[in-house]
Amino acid sequence: MSKFTEKTTKATQQSKPHRPITISPLSSLHCLNPTSPLTHTFKAPSFRSPMGLFLVFFLSLLSLASSASRVEQKTFIVRVQHEAKPSIFTTHKHWYESSLSSVLSPSTPTQVLHVYDSVFHGFSAKLSPTEALKLQTLPHVIAVIPEQVRYLQTTRSPLFLGLRTTDKAGLLKESDFGSDLVIGVIDTGIWPERQSFNDRGLGPIPSKWIGQCVTTKDFGSGSCNKKLIGARYFCSGYEATNGKMNESSEFRSPRDSDGHGTHTASIAAGRYVFPASTLGYAKGVAAGMAPKARLAAYKVCWNAGCYDSDILAAFDSAVADGVDVISLSVGGTVVPYYLDAIAIGAFGAVDKGVFVSASAGNGGPGGLTVTNVAPWVATIGAGTIDRDFPADVKLGNGKVVPGVGVYNGASLSPGRMYPLVYAGSGGGDGYSSSLCLEGSLDPDFVKGKIVLCDRGINSRAAKGDVVKKAGGVGMILANGVFDGEGLVVDCHVLPATAVGASNAYEIRQYIDSASKSNSPATATIVFKGTRLGVRPAPVVASFSARGPNPETPEILKPDVIAPGLNILAAWTDKVGPSGIPSDDRRTEFNILSGTSMACPHVSGLAALLKAAHPEWSPAAIKSALMTTAYTVDNRGETMIDESNGNTSTVFDFGSGHVHPTKAMDPGLVYDVTPMDYVDFLCNLNYTINNIQVLTRRNADCSGAKRAGHIGNLNYPSFSVVFQQYGKHKMSTHFIRQVTNVGDPNSVYKVTIRPPNGTLVTVEPQQLVFRRVGQKLNFLVRVEAMAVKLAPGSSSMKSGSLVWSDEKHNVSSPIVVTMQQPL
């Protein structure tokens, strides 16, 4: 498995930085020379003072500046007042270089890493804290933003989603499989030779496309075709921090040396490929969501991570090139939107009519772990599909413990039981050996045995490699308490299976009891191949990041979930399916898990919806996906949480699991204009400067603040946070507007399921539409009584609001959170 997906499928995997990569449109398409040689974090939803946060930021810069030297340089993204360029400068780049020169010492070379023109106005450069402070004082400089390093979030899914080529009508047929739409994938690049990217039967490249296919020594002129119509790479930010890349281990080109980008691109828009499988598992037809959509690959992630300056450059190029959808399976720390390069780039894209979907992150099952939470971004969590790969553990006491695994090498002898040991009992450093870290296992202790290894620190597949090197014949990968019962498949290099936390405890108990009775523990692993029709499904994946939204709890995140567990898709030829250097196997497809895999499902669906409804805005497309999503599994019950088997909540799945067929005809949509987002930012108490950084607009917030509050953004969900402060009764209201995209002369009636302990009323209770495109408003009032809570604690209750005309059900969750301040 990809090292990035390893990281993102669980917080216990070894971290890899996520980096954004961009190329100056005024420079060569190759990476600029530098001037010098995937875990999720979260915070409480407390940012409400942008000026205070800027003060803290610049006081920190002042502190650093007192001892700053050239060695302490880091990359900053600089927002500039675009129209203030003096006429003496022929280009903005020349102006930016002059601005840089004015704050640098005479002996320091001026190096602009990227110039941004499409989604952002400004540039990025490597500066010391002192230089950043000086640059901030220039009259045309609006903001100086420190760069973040980010991480990647890492078929049967089309059938599971109801996308069938045999249907005479439906989303695939109505959209012509997305044939004229372009999906830009910002990731680790692409392996263009894969059959998922063939262009057989495709028409000419859309005339609107003005992007390029950058050629290099390892990415020739024939790499692009009528399917893969664009490919770029961005590494200036990466190399500015890490020095010149090692081209023996990664490609200075759009070519994918990791596998993650190839995988996500083929999920979004891979062609039909038969036969398809990974090591004989998941046999069938592989296909992306929009099989005829065109692809453009923007490589921004490298061995050391993905850097904001490069990510922003990729957004800039993608929008300028003419993409319709941007898919970003990358995430990082949640910060205010005006300091978040992804939020900034995404706003610029949405402002140009480009739909942006991003992975919610793999920090679950804990709360407040969701990332990429800007309301103009579709934030995608992960669920399971009705397929798994059972590999059970048969213990010497006769018990059979369920697990999952993929392996096709020399198998364990049928009917034979092997000695079973816990890696942490082998002497030496018990902690390192329990995790099966490199060099931690005593060959005399594990040789010829099946070894139980705990998850954490190194990747899951790497643990199997450690066991194999030490002479072990098999491995059982044990979830910890935090991991819960969620299981992720890996293509291991020896017979191996993964078991949940409770079953891992049972195996340890068996090993301990066997040791005390002087009867050695034994076991074997029984691989059962591919199992279809699994129930229940979908289930919210254990690793999928959860709400509430740590930045703006009034906006429910994630928005929806989509298939993200054990997904088959195309793979690079650079590394084996385990992602381990010693793995010399090569495969056309691989099975990966993560919100990285869920995100491109929605990206492809968005392309289909855009093709079927070219007049829809990005917000309308997201609304269609959200209001038609479902929350019940294939048993007819509310989806469960994989981590503990309990019923899941709106903080786990948002509006629910995507339902593509219904999304094509949602009846009503909640549309949002860029100016609506500006009003939202005003109600966040952002300064005019903050808003200009994000939106490139000079905002007048007086009207927005008179009109309402944060929750009045025309979002397809309703979320309110009540601070009790000793109050007995609290209330708020929401104003919403829906647009009729269904039938003329339709009447919608409202059904309310209020959260427990609340009173919810809607005015009017009936909406009468005379024509398609007509817009009508309604008001929702929510009243809640105080509940008994400990200081600093909170409680959440959810309900729903549904508009129905007997043909369409337009559903929105209602979330009421009660907080007791300290």
Catalytic site includes residue 94: no
Q: Which amino acid is at 198?
A: N
Active-site position among 187, 641, 676, 805? 187
Q: CB 535: neighbour CB atoms within 10 A? A: 9
**Distance, CA of 393 to CA of 496 (rounded, Å):** 10
For the chain, the first-to-last Cα distance in angstroms comes to: 45
DSSP states along 394-453: EETTS-EE--B-B--SSPPPTT--EEEEEGGGSSSSHHHHHTT-TT-S-HHHHTTSEEEE
Largest CA distance in the chain: 88
DSSP label at residue 139: T
Given 24, 596, 603, 811, the catalytic residue: 596
Please give the Cα distance from 19 to 293 (Å, whole number): 26
Report the distance separating Cα 77 and Cα 34, nearest Å.
15
Q: What crossing angle do the helices spanning 129-136 and 92-103 adopt, rounded to 10°?
A: 120
Give 334-383 as a DSSP string: ---GGG-HHHHHHHHHHHTT-EEEEE--S-TTSTT------TTSEEEEEE
187 is a catalytic site residue: yes
On the 0-12 / 13-18 / 19+ scale of CB atoms within 10 A, 484 is: buried
Per 3-state DSSP, the chain is made up of helix, strand and coil in percentages (nearest 5) of 25, 25, 50
What's the CA gap between 605 and 809, in Å, rounded?
Answer: 20
**The tokens of 592 are what?**
């990966």
Residues 6+ apart with CB under 8 A from 164: 158, 170, 172
| Rounded alpha-carbon distances, angstroms, from residue 438 to 433, 466, 468, 476, 477 | 9, 6, 11, 17, 15
Contacts 24+ apart (CB under 8 A), 425-430: 425/511
Report the Cα 137 to chain-centroid distance in Å: 36
Cβ(746)–Cβ(769) under 8 Å?
yes
Tokens of 209: 């496309």
Query: Is 596 in the active site?
Result: yes
Please, which residues have CB within 8 angstroms of residue 717's CB and are 6 or more apart in sequence? Answer: 555, 556, 559, 626, 650, 654, 655, 812, 813, 814, 815
Given the residues 40, 114, 260, 657, the one annotated as active site: 260
Can you read off the two tokens belonging to residue 783? 């009243």
- Catalytic residue numbers? 187, 260, 596
